[in-house]
Amino acid sequence: MNIVKAVIAIYEKLPADVTPSSNPRAAFAGCLVRTAGHDFMDFRINTDNTTTGGMDACINFNDSDNAGLRECL
């Protein structure tokens, strides 16, 4: 629950003003969705039938598939 409260606090500290070229709260929400998506999209079935990645709350920022996520957060 502390994580939820922390995320809400960050969101609420962002400006609520929306202009045609800026919506900080929407950008933050989009970043969260993108980050969660990239967490589960790295699931791999290896040649030996073992698996890696998936929904494990870990993101490899050096993987080119995750380019730009660090700046998003």
- Of 23 and 59, the one with more pLDDT: 23
Residue 62 has pLDDT above 70, yes or no: yes
Q: pLDDT for 32-52, tens place per residue? A: 999 888 888 878 889 999 988
Range of 44's domain? 2-15+22-72
Number of structural domains, the chain? 1
Query: Considering the chain, what percentage of its residues have pLDDT values greater than 70?
Result: 99
Q: Please state the pTM of the whole predicted model.
A: 0.72
- Please state the rounded mean pLDDT for residues 46-62: 86
Q: Do residues 69 and 61 make contact, with C-beta atoms less than 8 angstroms apart?
A: yes
pLDDT over 80 (residue 73): no
Cβ–Cβ contacts within 10 Å for residue 65, how many?
A: 10
